[in-house]
């Protein structure tokens, strides 16, 4: 922030404010990832010239007048803007705004255009004080999400705020203030087609279920948003989604479930084909940070159905090997999804197979059976693994002897009984 200190020193009338989510996150003790500043009493060209002397600067969108600034000494990119007001065009689309930048505009007016009170606070660097005209600090203490001003007005300005409200409540573990909640439910019921960009809606949904799958699906369902996104999903497995966040589950599977696991659990009642259609229709794969994949989700759903309805002791090790150690997809995802849905102890089967070291390789199989290769070799190796898992074969010497005895039989490998 050295450049900001120099800015204040060089312009005696300048006022610099940390704004938005950065203030909220500092007050909540959360990690600060994005820094947004508003600078008053400096013309845009003067501000751009000053920033250019202290780092790299780009103007992002003339409509909003936001400078992307990277200090010469490195560090995070900082968004720096002049105060502005926004007048909505009435369509509910984010881009339908008349934006007016004004370096002399009071900071309170700039904060008044924001969505929720917890995002409408500013820290005044020159005066070292919090500017909080809409009661954001009190709402943080109440752990409550509340719209700035009239909730209906805020959501009519930008319909995406409806879904952002749900996401914030889930990520922060907040309740939603009653009038804001009623405006959310009413707004979803009245939304027309394509008011909210599919990519924006996908982002809010994935951020929600990634933060807390069970509460996210419950809150989106209560608001009517889940039905809007996925009318095919009449019922979902709430218990399985809740299991993902349980302490017992987290101890069993230290890595947090991927978004593919959450989507597979949510959508598996519909079958793999419908689940894939939903993921593609909602453009869930367009949200880069989450890397949701219709292929991986449908693979989990398709492979869950048959084998994991059986007890793990009944699964041949070769079958576990193919499912859980598949090279194309992560077997851990299938394991997590099946454990959450069925509560069966598949971790035991996983660990047993993971500890199995093959007693012979494919080259040895070909030498001892006289076969030239092909799918038969893989089948024989799987057969040997199943015998090894049963304890019938315990060493390489035993496996080689078994191959010499049975390997030349054209019906080999024999089905296990």
Global pTM reads 0.78
Domain locations in the chain?
2-139, 229-354, 362-406
Burial label for 378, CB within 10 Å (0-12, 13-18, 19+), is middle
Architecture of domain 2-139: 2-Layer Sandwich (3.30)
Instruction: Quickly tell me which residue has 């909540």 as its tokens.
Output: 28
Structure token pair of residue 156: 């009519």
pLDDT at 114: 92
Sorted by sequence, the CB contacts under 8 Å of residue 94 that are 6+ apart come out as 158, 160, 197, 200
92 pLDDT higher than 50: no
Q: pLDDT tens, 325-342?
A: 655 567 778 878 888 887
Q: What are phi and psi of 69, to 5 degrees?
A: -120, 125
Among the listed ranges 207-211, 310-314, 374-378, which one has the minimum average pLDDT value? 310-314
Instruction: State whether residue 144 is helix, strand or coil.
Output: strand
Q: Give the Å distances, CA to CA, from 364 to 23, 317, 378, 401.
A: 65, 20, 12, 12
């Amino acid at each position: 922030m050295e450049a900001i200190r120099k800015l204040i020193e060089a312009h005696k009338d300048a006022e610099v404010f940390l704004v938005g989510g950065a203030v909220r996150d500092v007050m909540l003790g959360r990690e600060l990832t994005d820094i947004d500043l508003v600078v008053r009493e400096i013309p845009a060209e003067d501000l751009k010239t000053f920033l250019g002397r202290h780092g790299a600067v780009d103007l992002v969108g003339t409509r909003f007048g936001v400078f992307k600034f990277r200090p010469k000494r490195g560090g995070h990119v900082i968004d720096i803007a002049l105060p502005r007001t926004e007048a909505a065009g009435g369509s509910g689309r984010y881009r339908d705004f008349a934006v007016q930048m004004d370096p002399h505009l009071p900071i309170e007016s700039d904060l008044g255009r924001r969505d929720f009170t917890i995002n409408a606070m500013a820290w005044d660097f020159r005066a070292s004080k919090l500017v909080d005209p809409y009661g954001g600090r009190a709402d943080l203490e109440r752990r409550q999400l509340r719209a700035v001003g009239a909730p209906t007005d805020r959501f009519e300005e930008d319909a995406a705020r409806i879904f952002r409200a749900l996401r914030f409540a889930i990520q922060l573990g907040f309740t939603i203030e009653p009038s804001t909640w009623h405006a959310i439910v009413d707004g979803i019921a009245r939304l027309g087609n394509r008011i909210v960009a599919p990519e924006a809606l996908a982002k809010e949904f994935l951020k929600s279920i990634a933060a807390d799958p069970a509460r996210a699906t419950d809150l989106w369902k209560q608001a009517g948003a889940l039905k809007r996104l996925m009318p095919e999903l009449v019922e979902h497995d709430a218990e399985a989604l809740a299991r993902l966040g349980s302490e017992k589950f987290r101890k069993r599977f230290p890595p947090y479930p991927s978004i593919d696991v959450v989507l597979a659990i949510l959508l598996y009642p519909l079958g793999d084909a419908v689940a894939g259609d939903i993921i593609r229709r909602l453009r869930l794969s367009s949200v880069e940070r989450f890397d949701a994949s219709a292929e991986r989700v449908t693979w989990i759903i398709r492979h869950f159905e048959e084998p994991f309805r059986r007890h793990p002791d009944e699964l041949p090790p070769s079958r576990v090997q193919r499912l859980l150690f598949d090279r194309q997809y992560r077997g851990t995802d299938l394991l997590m999804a099946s454990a959450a849905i069925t509560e069966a102890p598949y971790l035991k089967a996983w660990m047993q197979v993971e500890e199995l070291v093959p007693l012979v390789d494919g080259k040895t199989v070909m030498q001892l059976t006289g076969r030239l290769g092909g799918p038969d070799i893989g089948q024989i190796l799987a057969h040997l693994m199943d015998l090894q898992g049963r304890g019938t074969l315990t060493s390489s010497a035993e496996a080689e002897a078994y191959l010499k005895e049975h390997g030349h039989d054209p019906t080999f490998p024999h089905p296990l009984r």
